[in-house]
Amino acid sequence: MEPFIVINPDQTGIYYVIFYLLSFLVGFVLLIWEGRKRKFPALPWMLVITTVFLFFLVGVQAIKFSREDWQLVFQFKALGHDPGRSVIGGILFAIPGLIMAKYFLRFRYDVMDAFAWIAPIGMFVQRLGCFLAGCCFGKTTTAPWGAYYGISSHAFNRHVQEGLISEGSHMSMAVHPVPLYEMVCCVLMVFILFRLKKHFHASGNLLFASVGLYGVGRFVTEFYRANSIGIYNPTGLTFIQVAILFVLPFIVALILYRERKFRLNTITAQLFSIRDKHAFIYFIYFLPISFLFLLVSRWLTILEIVTLNIVMFPTLLFVGWQVFKSITVPKLRFTTICLVAGSFVMMSQTLPERSTSDSTKLSYNVFSFGLISSRNTFKLTDIDYTSTNCNGNPTSTNMNYYLENAAKVYGLGFGRVEQTKKEEVRQYGVDVYWGRNTEDLDGNEISSADVFGIHPYFQYDWQSVGTGFGFHAGNFSQTQFPDLNSTGTTISSVKKLNFFPSFYLRTGKLNRVFLEAKVAQQFPAPFPALSFQTNIGIGLKKNKGGAIRVGTGSYAGLFVAPSFPLGKDVILEFSLGGLPTLFAKVDSDPVFESIKQEENFIGSFNLRVKLGRKEKPLK
């Protein structure tokens, strides 16, 4: 019989990551929509969502911690590995976090029911990733809908270990597609919750019913899981199934008790109604939540950290905006934003200036001078076995080393800007740069190299799209994840380069809002820390070439990047960037137990002068 379902991914983890992030993104969007439908005030509602997500993601991993992991937690040390994930742990942590946020923010009590629908929808999306990744595979089966996994899957490796198949097989045995079973359970949960909604009167019972329904579905699917944890009991039930049997009666009793005691009166309604608060109150609440996030981030994986930022970052912007509105005069807010942004700016490609007349075209030369400085620090953790205990036996000690990559590069540039049509501009020119890049290990210099290069480029901008290309040639280096070199004796966080292509792509109008992607397209130099960039920009003035960009770059973290015209012929740009980069990670190494980026910084100054301005009639 031909296999009905065959999953043979080359990299199974990528499917899990994509749908894991997508499930939380979908959940976040649906929760915002649910809040608008229920007429929740936006700011406290976003704080509630942030708190629930934080507690959920902590619980997802915390329930998988071993005794050794908890010892590292209490010693405030990083785990250095991925302990695994469990939805049940997330639920156990999320409900107390939701109750805490509700009472601290004095939010309406029925906020709990808003999460009842979102949980099964989010799990539905995430289980699709589990199915494609093969991480939650089932027991072997002869059912026609059994799923087969390829040689890079967990199921294949398990079946080889158990002797069910040989290492030369092309796929695993057929297994129960447990994630698909759970997706069906999620659909049934939504349908049943919809039917139960009209029968519940006490706020919050719909959420407890959702948790109970998930327990029932999980109890059933546990019979088909291959990686369940069993316990010694006459029934042969797994540990999770026994726990569900104990918890389910409590949930049912809690729902019945709350329904019986439910009373609708004005005192209760006033007690749990939303009270109007000053924005600073919400800001004060957000501070300990942010501190908690920073505290637990050392024990979370990069996947959980990125997931939390899906919620934390928009909430931070919203809280900041509300505080900003409360302390500024409405008519002066835009001016205030420009002044503040000037202190947190990033090097950026200047927008081309266009003629002020529809019947003329503009052309001019551009002379540029700039300086860029960057620093990246990596923490390398090793295990030292040289010490001994009182019995003379060797003991292991964690030894931390710090590798710092610092660079300072100067640049000169000369280019030409020509307006060919009303909404079309071409730019071309050449930049040269020089400087020095050094690496220190615990304060001792281990490498130093001169940096120099030349960058010819060409760029063409239309009204709603722009593109450009060029190349770098010379002696320069690119920041990378620390590794041993070919000799196996020297640690390095730079990759030596003599040639590198550059590319630029824009969509959106330059004088309004636009998106950009840059590959080695940065003045005075994109090396060593700004090889790749993505950002969103807002044009400041239609004809002067000013803009503000917000985005991220390789080993540069988050940045804000404006360029401000000073008169007609001078454009001034500053820079300051940092925060953890998405390009760094915690990982294991053959020599070191773990390698982690500790900090990063990049700053710059740039001055552009326009020369030989000419305007000619458009043909």
Q: What is the pLDDT of residue 514?
A: 79
Q: What is the pLDDT of residue 104?
A: 84
Q: What is the pLDDT confidence band of residue 403, given thresholds at 50, 70 and 90?
A: confident
Distance CA 37, CA 606 (A): 48
Q: What is the pLDDT confidence band of residue 268, given thresholds at 50, 70 and 90?
A: very low
Position 391 pLDDT exceeds 60: no
Spatial contact of 155 and 179, defined as CB atoms under 8 Å apart: no
Q: Which helix (H) or strand (E) holds 406?
A: strand 397-421
Q: What is the pLDDT of residue 463?
A: 84
Distance CA 523, CA 371 (A): 9
Residue with more model confidence, 304 or 619: 304
Cα distances (angstroms) measured from residue 554 to each of 468, 522, 602: 20, 12, 11
pLDDT tens digits, one per residue of 193-244: 988 888 888 888 888 999 999 999 999 998 888 865 555 456 678 888 888 8
Give SS3 for 508.
Answer: strand
Distance CA 365, CA 360 (A): 17
Spatial contact of 561 and 349, defined as CB atoms under 8 Å apart: no
Residue with more model confidence, 274 or 85: 85
Q: What is the pLDDT of residue 105?
A: 83
Peptide bond between residue 314 and the one before it cis (omega within 30 degrees of 0): no
pLDDT tens digits, one per residue of 435-484: 888 888 877 778 888 899 999 999 998 888 999 999 999 888 888 777 66
Please state which of the ranges 132-146, 279-293, 331-345 shows the lowest mean pLDDT: 331-345
Position 557 pLDDT exceeds 60: yes
DSSP label of 258: H
Q: What is the pLDDT of residue 295?
A: 77
Residue with more model confidence, 261 or 588: 261
Residue with more model confidence, 235 or 423: 423
Position 175 pLDDT exceeds 80: yes
Q: What is the pLDDT confidence band of residue 618, given thresholds at 50, 70 and 90?
A: low
Residue with more model confidence, 601 or 91: 91
- 552 DSSP β-pair partners: 534, 558
Kindly state the average pLDDT of the residues 301-313: 77
Contacts 24+ apart (CB under 8 A), 396-403: 398/77, 398/593, 401/441, 401/442, 402/377, 402/378, 402/441, 402/442, 402/598, 403/377, 403/378, 403/439, 403/440, 403/441, 403/482, 403/491, 403/493
Q: What is the pLDDT of residue 454?
A: 92
Q: What is the pLDDT of residue 579?
A: 59
Q: Find the radius of gyration of the CA atoms of the chain.
A: 29
Residue with more model confidence, 332 or 185: 185
Q: What is the pLDDT of residue 192?
A: 92
Q: Which two tokens stand for residue 396?
A: 């292991």
Spatial contact of 229 and 240, defined as CB atoms under 8 Å apart: yes
Q: What is the pLDDT confidence band of residue 591, given thresholds at 50, 70 and 90?
A: low
pLDDT tens digits, one per residue of 499-509: 889 989 888 88
State the residue for tokens 């923010």: 105
Kindly state the average pLDDT of the residues 177-196: 91
Position 1 pLDDT exceeds 90: no
DSSP label of 352: P
pLDDT tens digits, one per residue of 102-154: 888 877 657 888 888 888 998 998 888 888 887 788 888 888 888 888 877 78
Q: What is the pLDDT confidence band of residue 526, given thresholds at 50, 70 and 90?
A: confident
Residues of the chain with pLDDT > 90, as a percent, come to 10
DSSP label of 587: B
Average pLDDT, the chain: 77
Give the HSE-up count for residue 387: Cα atoms under 13 Å, Cβ half-sphere: 9
